[in-house]
Structure 1
Amino acid sequence: MSTSTVPVSAAGATATKAPPRGLWARLIRRRGAAAAIVILAALVVAAALGPLLVSDPNAFSGAARLKPPSGEHWFGTDNYGRDVFARVVVGARSSLAVGVISGLGATILGTVIAVLASTYRWFDLVVMRVVDGVMSFPVLVLALAMVAILGPGLITVNICLVIVLFPGVTRVVRSTSLVVAELPMMDAARAAGAGRGRILWRYVLPACLTPILVQGAIAFTVAILVESALSFIGAGLPPDVPSWGASLAASRSYLSTAWWMWVFPGAALIGTVLATNVLIDDIRDLLDPRMTER
C-alpha cells in the first residue's frame, strides 16, 4: 500500500503544480507582452468608462458630416455627423462583451465535453461525431445561418458564437486529455482509490491548462472577428448599438474621401486581435515546462 501512495503524491504535486513564481514579472519583461497588456488594458478601460467620458455615439449632426479629425472630434465624424471617437470607444464595450462572453462560454462548454469524452468512451463516440459535424461548416457561414434563424441581437449572437466555437476547443483539449489519461500517474491514482471525479479535477484539468488558455484566447479573438463580420453585413448587433463592424460598414462608400471612418475602427479591431494573440503566446511559452527563459 505504501508503494502506491508515493507515486500518487508525486503525480499530484506535478499535475497540480502552480504556475512558477514571478510569472507576471517575467511576462512584463517581454516587450511584446507588455505592449499587449497596455493595449488590452486601455480597451477594457474604454469599454468600462467610455459611455461616461464621451458624448452620445448615436447623436446625429447634419452640419458636422464627414469632418476630419480635429480638437473637437478627435477621430472625425461619419456620414451622419456622429463622432467616430465616441463610436469606437463605446463600440469596444460591445465587441469585448461578445468576445468575453462567447469565448468564455465556448471554452467552458468545450472543456467539459472534452474531459468527459476522454473519460467515457460511449460519450466520446456520440459527442465527437456532433463536434465533427459542426466543424465541417465554415464558422462565419454557420454563425450567419443561426443568426438568420434566431434573429439579430446581442444574446442571439453570443449563443450562436458559443455553439460555433466550442467544437474547436473540444477537439484540442480532448487530445490532451487522452494523453494525460494514459499516464502512469493515473493508474497510481486509481490504485490509491481516487474516483473519476477527483482524477478529472486534480490531475486531468491542471494538465490541460495551457491548451485551455490558448483555445480560450483563440475563441475570444474569433468571436470578436465574427461579430464584426456579422455587424458589417447587418446581421449582428442592432443598428442602435455601436460596433466596430458597423462602423467599418458605414465607411465603405468613403474609403478615399473620409479615411478616418475606417482607419480608427479597423485599428481598434486589429489591435485587439493582435494584442490578445501576442499575450497568450507569451503566457503559453512561460507556462510550458519545455520552454526555457533565456
Structure 2
Amino acid sequence: MVKNSYIPFKAKILAKYQQTELDWTYRLECQIQPIAGQFMEVSLPGVGECPISISDFGDGYIEMTIRRVGQVTGGIDKLVPGDYLFLRGPYGKGFPLESFYNKHLIIAAGGTGLAPVKSVINYFYARPELLQRCDILTGFKTPNDVLFKHDLDKWAQTFRVEVTVDKLDESGNLEVIANSCSRRTGLITALIPDVEIPSLEDVRVIIVGPPVMMKFTAQEFLCRGLAKENIWVSFERKMSCGLGKCGHCKIDETYVCLEGPVFNFAQAQTLLD
C-alpha cells in the first residue's frame, strides 16, 4: 500500500511543560527520527493545521514548543497529557551538524527562534569534544519571555551563554532569567562585538529568529569578516502542505518547505519577498 503523505498520524501527549505565559513545550510519543531543524505539520481535527518546529527529540519521542497565537495553537493549548495531536512529517532540510565538527560554533537565537536550535545545542552539549568551542547568544523581549531557562543554566556549565532582553518587565529583575548565564539588556546584535573569534576560518554561525533580527545579526557577523558560506539561517514561513505543492511558502522559485527551512546564508540572502 502506498503511503499518503497528506494523512497525519496520532501522537499521544506524554508531558506538557510551561515556558512562558504563551509558550508550552509538548513531549509527544513518536517513533520518527528527525534531523535538527526540521518541522512538523500539526493538526487538530475540525480546527486546522499549522507548521511547528521540532525543538528536541529522543528515543520514542519528539518535543515541540508551541506559542498560543491563533485558532489551532489556541486549541492545542487546551490539551493535557493523555490527549492526542495529529502530525505529518518531518519536513524540510535541517542543520548540517557535521559541518560544525571541530569548529567554533556560534548560535544566535531570537525569541522563539531558540526552539529550532535547541536540539542542535543538546546534540553538542552531549558531545562537547566535537567542537572547538560554542557561544550561545539569545535575545528576548522581557525576562518573562525567556524560553528554556533550566536548559540555559545547563548549557552554561559547558558553553558560553549570553542572554539579553529588549527591556525589563515590571519586576525589573534579570535574576529570573538563568543563574549561570551572562545577562544584560539590549538587542542581540549588541552581543556580537564581544564574542571572541581567534580564527575566522574556524567559525560557523547559526542564526534563527524574526526576519529583521536575522538580517541585522547576519550583517554584524559579516562586518566581523565571516564568510557568507559559514552562516546558516532558518526561515519561519507559513508552510501549509509541507510537500512543495501549495506554494504558500514559495519565495521566487524556492519552496521553503522543501529546500529549507534551513538555508546557507549565501543562498538565503537572495530570498526576498
Q: TM-score, normalised by structure 1?
A: 0.21
Q: TM-score, normalised by structure 2?
A: 0.22
Higher percent of residues as strand? 2
Higher RCO (C-alpha 8 Å, min separation 6):
1
